Amino acid sequence: MAKTATEWRKAFLAHVPQLHKKTTFMDILEDPDLLHTLKDYIDIHLCTVVLLHGYWHQIWALAESKSFYPASKTTHRLSLLTTHRELYRDLLDLADKIPSLTQNSPVATLLSEFFMMVLHVSLADLQRFAGKFGEDEARNAHVLLQAWCQTTESRAAIWHAGQVLRAAQNLLPTQLTGFNAIALYYSSLALWVYGLVVSSHPNSSNTIASGRQRGVQPFDYSISTAPVFDVILNCHETTQIISFKANGREMPGVLSVKSSPGADVFIPLKDTDRILRNSRDIYKSNFPASDDPLPSLVVNLVNLLKDLECCRSNLISRAASETAD
């Protein structure tokens, strides 16, 4: 009801909370809860997204440092491990606050989950394994990823990758573009690589065989009939998820984006072609206007995922030959 802009400004500033000092980015980085005190005066969602991006340089720097210090450098590796744990803890703490800070914004959730995934897997190795740098580089990446798939780090990575898929499904129409689209691509790549490498491992057949002995089909069944050792990566965290991240005995997978209420279709990661098709469906479902063409970036990413289905047999034969060697 102010009569002039100057009067409005004076009245507005009279309601701004009196802080001991000017709030800076570093203050918020150290204590994100400070945003709650300013919720009536700033765009908290935008500030939260900016805060998340503030972690990216630290994540990138940590990944670069790992390439300079081999496992033999135990002192340096211990320092990197400590940095990794602290950075991951900070991101987990911020992720817990995102629902209250942003009113469950899927954009902020997607960013936080993707960043936590990147802390546990090398995006360069994923690209190399997919054949983007030639056959020799793909073979070298397979050796590294085969060892990675046996670690708790890999299970943490695919858990966060599944959460990226979950957030992508909750985005508003046409929001799955730019960085969001790229995050979904790399997350899909992580799930695909894990499923492919684990399925090519000599011991992987034991899990499927045990399922058959119990009268359970390994693929294409609804969640209502799924055995207890199946864990869903694009749902909320459960005791089964915690158990899987600790020991890896359960069978990970995702719920299909085309699932209908009451008939959720579970897709094991070992069914790699369906994992890729499900990710392509997520892209397409975010653009419901069927008459309009998809953005060029989305089209390119969808085609890349489709191409991976075609080269699956070559990747499996490569893995088999290395195992035999």
The answer on 300 and 268 residing in a single domain is yes
| Confidence at residue 260, expressed as pLDDT on a 0 to 100 scale | 67
| Confidence at residue 17, expressed as pLDDT on a 0 to 100 scale | 65
The answer on 297 and 166 residing in a single domain is yes
Residue 113 lies in a domain: no
Q: Per-residue confidence of the chain (325 residues) as pLDDT tens digits?
A: 899 999 999 988 887 766 556 788 888 888 888 888 887 778 899 999 999 999 999 999 998 888 777 666 677 778 888 999 999 999 999 999 999 999 899 999 999 999 999 999 999 999 999 888 888 888 888 999 999 999 999 999 999 999 999 999 999 999 999 999 999 999 999 999 999 998 876 554 334 333 333 333 333 333 434 444 589 999 999 888 998 998 887 889 999 988 766 677 899 999 999 999 999 999 999 998 767 788 999 999 999 999 998 765 555 555 545 554 4
Backbone angles phi, psi at 105, to 5 degrees: -65, 120
Amino acid at residue number 174? T
The answer on 287 and 196 residing in a single domain is yes
Cβ count near 271 (within 10 Å): 18
Residue 1 lies in a domain: no
| Confidence at residue 42, expressed as pLDDT on a 0 to 100 scale | 83
The answer on 97 and 144 residing in a single domain is no
| Confidence at residue 202, expressed as pLDDT on a 0 to 100 scale | 53
| Confidence at residue 22, expressed as pLDDT on a 0 to 100 scale | 76
| Confidence at residue 183, expressed as pLDDT on a 0 to 100 scale | 97
Q: 72, 104, 136 — which closes off a domain?
A: 104
Give strand pairing partners of 230: 251
Euclidean distance between CA atoms 44 and 317, whole angstroms: 50
Q: How many domains does the chain have?
A: 2
Domain that holds residue 41: 22-104
The answer on 272 and 198 residing in a single domain is yes
Amino acid at residue number 140? N
The answer on 217 and 69 residing in a single domain is no
Give which of 179, 176, 182, 183 is closest to 161, Cα–Cα: 183
Q: 104, 134, 162 — which closes off a domain?
A: 104
